[in-house]
Amino acid sequence: MAPQMDQQQQQAMYKQAQAYLKAGEFDAAENVCTNVLEQFPHDGNFMCISAQALIRLQRFDDAQARLEKAVKLYPQFDRAYDGCGDLFMAQGKFNDAIKAFQHALKLNPQRQQTKMKLSQIFTITGNQEKADGLKESIYENDPAIKELDRAVQMEKQEKFEEAEDIYRNILLKYPDNVTAMRLWAALGTKRKFYKEAEILLGRAVKVAPDYTHAWQDLFQVYQEQDKYEESMEVAVTLRKLEPASPRPIILHAAAYASSGDHGRAIEVYDEALEIAPDNVGAMCGKGNSCRTYGLYDEAVATFRRSIETNPYHAEPYWSLANLKTFKFEEQEVEKMIELVDDERVTEEGKIQLNNALGHEFHNRKEYAKAFSYLEQCNNLRRAQEYYDPVDNEEVVDLMESIFTPEYIEKNTGFGNPDDAPIFIVGLPRSGSTLLEQILSSHSQVEGTFELRDLSRTVRTIPENRRKGIRYPSNLIDIEQSKFEELGTLYMEKTKRHRSDFQYFTDKNPNNFVHVGLLELILPNAKIIDARRHPLDSCFGSYKQLFASGQPFTYDLIELGEYYLQYRRVMDHWHKVLPGKVLDVKYEDVVDDTENQIRRILDHCGLGFEESCVNFHQTDRNVKTASSEQVRQPIYRSSVHTWRHYEEHLEDLIEVLEPLLIELPEKDRPLSLGGKVD
């Protein structure tokens, strides 16, 4: 039996439960409440926090039991009725929710959040007059809320400039309104205006030093900019503000992981797990760092521990499937199939489970079943993503119209002459990790990972989207001295990822669109295009659930169209910059490894070293989905993977037909006259 808590300990536990709830650690919040309620079964505040956590976990019956007891014991407790409203709202019982919220307001007319929730329900149920009346009541107490609400509505309509104008006007009237600062910063983050978001959040935490949500947002903005030292400082600040919460410790560990120090990240994740042994976020973070660090067995054990702790948290299933060389046990597969339709699993969790099952049945060579799960995964994920194929095509149009031979000749000779970078470009799942592992096995080359520094360098070039001036249109009248500045800026940004090697790799595949700019800002950089059979490349992306980015990969038609634009822009670079880019086909590396490695090293001005052929013996962190595969000798099993799914790829084959029809018969689909060896 646990020793009896004193009042101070009880208050500390209350703060801890609240911190867990705010951080989204609902299991941890419920565990704290359960422990306290064992000793103080009549504590209404803990009953209500417990109910909130249970509602988020979709354990509605348990939440109802907590709230019914709180209402019975404390019939004048407005917070308990507010909790009942939340429960009914989550269950879609809107009439019951209205009654509960109205009773909470009768007991405490100053509950502004309750008014807002009641207004939302009136809007949902079609009673806009009552909804507007409640909003006006809220606006009377705080006029800025009305403007903030209007700005949020503008954002929902993707009227971002109008929303920014509203936030700007609010801060002119109310300079210390930290909510406006945070919302404006969130809009900037969404639009990748990280510097502006950083300024706003920095101002918010200066005005309100204990505003933990703003500190957390600032952490993410620093992470997006790879500002690791600043991220560390924010995490340390949060640890001081919330000493009882594992959340800031997890952020601290994530900062170490992002900086490449996965050994230290694992140690800090363990610190979080010491105070919150059931925290699945810390377990998943630790598992991913173990994987990157090459600690395969520990990664597997950590992911499985997360599943045991909370089987409805699906991320570790996906992480295990992403190990590529991992095989699920039969009971694990049965559990995943059961969970796919379980209402207690989040939408993101269902996406992850479908992807994991797709990989598992692919490994079992049950290809029809594998495709069914992959298709479900991608349909769900596509609904969450914003991708405009027309905009992508317009960017390629601009590249062709701006980077003409005349433009390149006019602006050649002004860049930074540093020859250290080796760019590996192309599309995801086309062998870029293999090429990076080969090159980083050379004594003069350091392998980094998919750096985001080139795109961030590009974003420093002034744009004016309201006037239609965007990249690459903003290069037309750029001063020639800027080319050297941009090259130098990229080299400065990448310093934190590399040490004292003469050369380093940057394998961000999306850099293929910047080849023309690279010729002008870093003319001596080497560029390799990692290529693969069009159907293997596209299906490999369709099969891979990316943690973020690559929104074009979740629809077969959009994938095919994107691939055509990629090939179109690469053909343009070959035309205007002959010899600049070396095309390396994955299949050629598999069939003729040593000669292809010699060809790659020659293009990079490097002497041949046997270690490059024995690349799988190189000990280094690998962050991508291929991390386990490149630690093995080269193999052929992933060549022509698409053949197993040909009957499901009709739409993709139709889009890619102009390219596929030109391939040898052995590489063509059967529908285009291909033959299987």
Q: Contact at 8 Å (CB) between 416 and 491?
A: yes
Chain mean position to CA 470 = 25
Phi, psi of 24, deg, nearest 5? 85, 10
Sheet strands side by side (includes 421-426): 445-447, 503-506, 421-426, 526-531, 581-585
Chain mean position to CA 397 = 28
| pLDDT tens-digit readout, 402-459 | 999 999 999 999 999 999 999 999 998 898 989 999 999 999 999 988 898 999 899 8
Q: Which two tokens stand for residue 609?
A: 């070293």
Q: How far is CA 327 from CA 126, 310, 320, in A?
A: 51, 21, 8
Q: Contact at 8 Å (CB) between 403 and 472?
A: yes
Q: How far is CA 485 from CA 328, 412, 478, in A?
A: 51, 14, 12
**Exposure string for 417-453, b = 16+ CB within 10 A, e = fewer:** eeebbbbbbbbbbbbbbbbbbbbbbbeebbbbbbbbb
Half-sphere CA count of 157, side-chain side, radius 13 A: 11
Q: What are the residue ranges in the chain where pLDDT is below 50?
A: 1, 620-631
- Please give the single-letter amino acid code of residue 7: Q
pLDDT at 292: 87
Q: Which two tokens stand for residue 652?
A: 């993709």
| pLDDT tens-digit readout, 20-30 | 887 777 888 88
Q: How far is CA 478 from CA 150, 416, 445, 460, in A?
A: 38, 16, 33, 12
- Please give the single-letter amino acid code of residue 666: K
pLDDT at 620: 46
Distance, in Å, from the CA atom of 424 to the CA atom of 287, rounded to the nearest integer, reads 27
Q: Contact at 8 Å (CB) between 222 and 198?
A: yes
Q: Which two tokens stand for residue 454?
A: 């080139």
The correct CATH number of 412-461+481-637 out of 2.30.40.10, 3.40.50.300, 3.20.20.10, 1.10.3720.10 is: 3.40.50.300
Question: So where are the chain's domains?
Answer: 312-384, 412-461+481-637
Q: Which two tokens stand for residue 560?
A: 């095919």
Distance, in Å, from the CA atom of 315 to the CA atom of 317, rounded to the nearest integer, reads 5
User: Position of tokens 């390629």?
Assistant: 396
Distance, in Å, from the CA atom of 36 to the CA atom of 33, rounded to the nearest integer, reads 5
pLDDT at 635: 61
pLDDT at 623: 44
8-state DSSP, 526:
E
pLDDT at 13: 86
CB neighbours (10 Å) of residue 364? 13
Nearest-5° angle of CA 424, CA 428, CA 430? 70
pLDDT at 659: 96
Q: Is 320 helix (H, G, I), strand (E, B) or coil?
A: helix
Q: Contact at 8 Å (CB) between 443 and 525?
A: no
- Please give the single-letter amino acid code of residue 472: P
- Please give the single-letter amino acid code of residue 308: E
Q: Contact at 8 Å (CB) between 192 and 180?
A: no
The secondary structure of the chain in percent helix, strand, coil, rounded to multiples of 5, reads 70, 5, 30
The candidate with the shortest Cα–Cα distance to 227, out of 195, 204, 249, 253, is 195
Q: Which two tokens stand for residue 254?
A: 């994530």
Distance, in Å, from the CA atom of 455 to the CA atom of 397, rounded to the nearest integer, reads 19
The candidate with the shortest Cα–Cα distance to 624, out of 550, 529, 523, is 550
pLDDT at 52: 94
Q: Which are the contacts of 50, defined by CB distance < 8 A and separation ≥ 6?
A: 29, 30, 33, 34, 37, 63, 66
pLDDT at 224: 87
8-state DSSP, 3:
P
Q: Contact at 8 Å (CB) between 559 and 652?
A: yes
| pLDDT tens-digit readout, 201-245 | 999 999 999 888 899 999 999 998 888 889 999 999 999 988 878
CB neighbours (10 Å) of residue 481? 9
Chain mean position to CA 647 = 31
pLDDT at 417: 97
Distance, in Å, from the CA atom of 122 to the CA atom of 129, rounded to the nearest integer, reads 8
pLDDT at 339: 95
pLDDT at 181: 94
DSSP 205-238: HHH-TT-HHHHHHHHHHHHHTT-HHHHHHHHHHH
Distance, in Å, from the CA atom of 19 to the CA atom of 212, rounded to the nearest integer, reads 10
- Please give the single-letter amino acid code of residue 237: T
Q: Examine residue 472 and say whether the peptide bond preceding it is cis (omega within 30 degrees of 0).
A: yes
